[in-house]
Chains A and B, each alone.
Chain A
Amino acid sequence: MTARIYVPRDSAALSVGADEVAKRLDEVCAARGAVVEIVRNGSRGMLWLEPFVEVETPAGRVGYGPVTAGDVESLLDAGLLEGRAHALSHGLVDQIPWLATQQRVTFARMGLHDPLDLDDYRAGGGLRGLERALSIAPDEVVADVLASGLRGRGGAGFPAGIKWRTVMEADADQKYVCCNADEGDSGTFADRMLMEGDPFTLLEGMAIAGIATGATQGLIYVRSEYPYAIRTLRTAIDIARVDGWLGPDVMGSGRAFDIRVVEGAGSYVCGEETAMLESLEGKRGMVRPKPPIPALQGLFGKPTLVNNVLTLAAAPGIIADGAAAYQALGMERSRGTQVFQLAGNIARGGIVELAFGVTLGELVEGYGGGTRSGRPLRAVQVGGPLGAYFPADTLDVPMDYEALAAAGGLLGHGGIVAFDDTVDMAAQARFAMEFCAVESCGKCTPCRVGSTRGVEVIDKITAGVDRERNLVLLEDLCTTMTDGSLCAMGGLTPLPVRSALAHFPEDFHRATEVRP
C-alpha cells in the first residue's frame, strides 16, 4: 500500500526547511523500500509547527511538526507511515484545538491538497460558484455579494457589493477586475498564503467578478517580494486556461475572462488602490485624488473593480452556498469571517480565521499563546505599519471594523504583531515615520516632508531636547499629516505614533531633559 505524506510547499514552510524534509523523506523511504507518495500541499497555517508533515491514515490525517530533515529517520522508525506516536506528533490534525475551533471559510481548503491539482479543487467544491454565476443574471450575482455583507478585506472595509454594482452599471467598451495583491503590511501574510496554497479560489473569485461586472480582463498586482506566489499563480492561470474556465469562452458560456499577473517593484504605497492603478499603467506609483472613483474611471480610465485577494477569494463560497450562510457569521456591520494573522514575537503564529467579534486577547493570548520569548507581552500592533499599538492590558477589544475604530485603532488587513517587554516604543514610533519617509509617493507635502520632520522631532524628544515643546510640535505634525494627505500612508502614519505616545509615554522620557 502506498502511504501518502504531505509536506507543505508554502514559502514560510520552505523558509524553515520543508524542501529538505521532503527530499530526505523521499531518500530514506526509497532506501527502506517503502512506497510513498509525497504531496506538496499548502500550509495549514500553524506556522510555528512548520515544516508540518502529515500522513494519511484510516482514522484521518496525522500531523508531525516542526520536522527537520534530521528527524526523518526517527519519525520513520517510530511508524510515521502508520501515523504512530512520536515526540513531534500532534495526533489527528482535524482534532488539534488550535485548528478545530476556527471557522475556516476563505481558508477552508488551505493545506488540504496540492494547490495546483484542479481535480482536488473540484472535489473540494471548487468552481461551483463560477458555474452558478454563469447560470444566473449578473445583477443576481451582485445582489448575493451585497446581501452577504462582504466588506473589502484590504483594510478600508468598503462594502464589496456596492463596488461590484457600480462597475456592473458603468457603461464602457472595456472594464477590468484588478486584484490588489500588494500585501505590504508587516505582520500580514494571508494573501500570500492563499495565492500559494489555494490559487484557484482567487482565480475563480475574479472570474465571478468579471462575469458579474462585465469585465473581460483581470489583473493581479503581486508585490515582487512574493516570488513564490507569482510563480504559483502563473502556473494556476495556465491550468485554468487549458481547462477552459479562463480565456475567450469561460466554461463554454461564450463569455470571455482572462487573468494576468503583474509584478510590483518594491513600493509599499502601490498597495493603495489608485497608486496600484498608476503602477499597472507602468508609471510612478503616485496616489490619484478621488473622485473619480476607480469603479468608474480606473485602469486606463476604464471602469475597474479593485478588490483585495481575500475579498475576491470569499466570492466563490458566497455565490456557491448563498449569501445567507456568510451573512450569518460575524457581528454588527462586520459580517462573515476575518483571516487574522498572528505574527511577531508570538509562541503560536499563523492563520486564525474566525467570525468577527473575537477579542484581541483571545487571539494573542489564546491562539497565540503569548510571546515566543516567554517574556511579558508589552504591545500589540494591529493592522500593519499604519495601525495602532495596543498595550497588553487593553486586549479586550472585539475585532470588528467599528469596535476597533472606536478603540482608536483599525483592523486593516488583519495582521497582529506582538512585542515583548524589550520593545522600545519610541523606536517603534520613529520607525513609523521613517517607513513613511522611505515609502511616501511624494504627492502630498504633509506626508513627504512631514514624515522626515517626524523622525527628527522624535529624535529630539527621545534625546531630551526641549521635550515639551517638541511633543507639542509632534502632535501638530500628526494633525497636519492626518488632515492633509490624500491616502492612508500620510493619513494614518500618525496612528502608530500617537498610540505609542499615549500608551507608552515613559519610553519617550528616558533621557534627561536638555535645554537648547
Chain B
Amino acid sequence: MSAYAPWSPQAAQDLLSALPADERLILPALQHVQAAFGYIPDGAVHVVADALNVSRAEVVGVLTYYHDLRQAPPASVVVQICVAEACQAEGTRELVGAIESAYDVTLGNETHVGAVEFDKVYCFGNCALGPAAMVNGRLLGRCDMARLEAAIESAQGVRS
C-alpha cells in the first residue's frame, strides 16, 4: 500500500524526536514507526534505542513481544480472520479450511498470497455476528468465502 513512506532512518529520527513526552516510550515509539513505514525494519531498532536512550535489547524485547508489531512489510491487502471461541462456534474453523484450500496455504501469521496477506487473530468483539474478519481495517460479520472475496476485491480496487 502506497500509504506508507519508504524506510528512512532520518525520517524515523525526525518522527521520534517530534513525539510528545508521554509517548516517548518503547511501545508507542515502535507503533509510530510502524504507522509511518508499515513495519519495523531491523535498522529501526537502534534508531528507537538511541532516540529513547534505552538498550537495543529492550527495544527488541518489546518488538518481538507484541503480535501487532511486524518486522516485514505488510501486503497491500491485509485480511485478519478471527479464530477465537465465539467465531469457532459460528464456523471459523471451516472458513479457515476454505481459505487454505482456495489459496493453497497454511494459515499462520503474516501468510502472504500474492498481494494479499492472511493473519489469524483473536477476537474483534463481533462475537454475535461471526465468523468475523477485518480487511484493511474494515470489520466484516457473518463472513463466508463470498463475502470475504468481495471485500478483498473491493480493498484491491481502492488501492489501485
**A residues neighboring B (CB under 8 Å):** 11-12, 14-16, 47-48, 50, 183-189, 191-193, 224-228, 260, 262-268, 279, 281-285, 341-346, 349-350, 372, 381, 385, 415, 417-420, 423, 428, 431, 435, 439, 441
Asked if A228 contacts B128 (CB within 8 A), the reply is no
In the complex, what's the smallest C-beta–C-beta distance from B23 to chain A, in angstroms?
A: 8
The reply to whether B127 and A417 form a contact with Cβ atoms under 8 Å apart is yes
Once bound together, how far apart are the Cα atoms of A48 and B141, in whole Å?
A: 11
Are A225 and B88 in touch, CB under 8 angstroms? no
CA distance A227 to B87 in the complex (A): 19
Per-residue 0/1 for B5-39: is the Cβ within 8 Å of any A Cβ (1 yes, 0 no)?
00000000000000000100111110100000000
Look across to chain B and name the residue whose beta carbon is closest to the beta carbon of A45: B128
B85 and chain A: residue at smallest CB distance:
A186
CA distance A253 to B96 in the complex (A): 55
Option from A262, A266, A420 in Cβ contact (under 8 Å) with B67: A266
User: In the complex the two chains form, is B137's CB within 8 Å of A187's CB?
Assistant: no
Is there a chain A Cβ closer than 8 Å to B51's Cβ?
Answer: no
Residues on B facing A (Cβ under 8 Å): 22, 25-29, 31, 58, 61-62, 65-69, 82, 84-90, 121-130, 132, 134, 137, 139-142
Which B residues lie within 8 Å of A385 (CB)? Answer: 84-85
- Of A15, A262, A267, the contact of B129 (CB 8 Å cutoff): A15
Which residues of A have CB within 8 Å of B132?
15
Most buried by B among A184, A282, A349, A419: A282
Q: Can you list 8 contacts pairing A with B, beta carbon distance less than 8 Å?
A: A11-B126, A188-B127, A263-B31, A267-B67, A283-B25, A343-B128, A381-B85, A417-B86
Q: Are B90 and A344 in contact (CB under 8 A)?
A: yes
Interface centre among A183, A344, A415 (most CB of B within 10 A): A344
The distance in angstroms between the C-alpha atoms of A193 and B90, with both chains bound, is: 20
Q: How far is the CA of A505 from the CA of B29 in the complex (A)?
A: 49
Q: Given A282-B29, A344-B86, verify A187-B127 contact (CB < 8 Å).
A: yes
A15 touches B122 (CB 8 A): no
Q: Quote the shortest CB–CB distance from B70 to chain A (angstroms).
A: 10
Cβ contact within 8 Å between B86 and A284: no
Residue of chain A at shortest CB distance from B133: A15
Number of A-B residue pairs having CB atoms within 8 Å of each other in the complex: 144
Nearest chain A residue, comparing its CB with the CB of B28: A282
Quick one: given A225-B123, A265-B31, A417-B127, are A186 and B86 in contact (CB under 8 Å)? yes
- Given A186-B85, A225-B123, 14 more pairs with CB closer than 8 A: A48-B128, A48-B129, A189-B128, A225-B121, A265-B68, A266-B121, A267-B65, A283-B61, A283-B62, A284-B61, A341-B127, A341-B128, A342-B128, A345-B90
What A residues does B124 contact at CB under 8 A? 11, 225-226
The answer to whether B61 touches A344, judged by C-beta atoms less than 8 angstroms apart, is: no
Is B89's CB under 8 angstroms from A283's CB? no
With a cutoff of 8 Å between Cβ atoms, the chain A residues found around residue B31 in the complex are 263, 265
Given contacts A265-B66, A265-B67, A283-B27, contact A15 B126 (CB under 8 A): yes
Residues of B within 8 A of A192 (CB): 125
Q: Which residue of B lies closest to A441 (CB)?
A: B65
Partner of A186, one of B27, B58, B69, B122: B122
Report the Cα distance A412→B126, complex, angstroms: 18
A302: min CB distance to chain B, Å? 14
Given A14-B139, A349-B128, A284 contacting B65 (CB threshold 8 A): yes
The answer to whether residues A16 and B129 also contact, given A227-B137, A267-B67 and a CB cut-off of 8 A, is yes
Chain A residues, Cβ within 8 Å of B139: 11-12, 14-15, 228
Inside 8 A of A227's CB, which chain B residues have their CB?
Answer: 137
CB-CB under 8 A from B126, the residues of chain A are 11-12, 15, 189
Question: Complex Cα distance A99/B44, Å?
Answer: 52
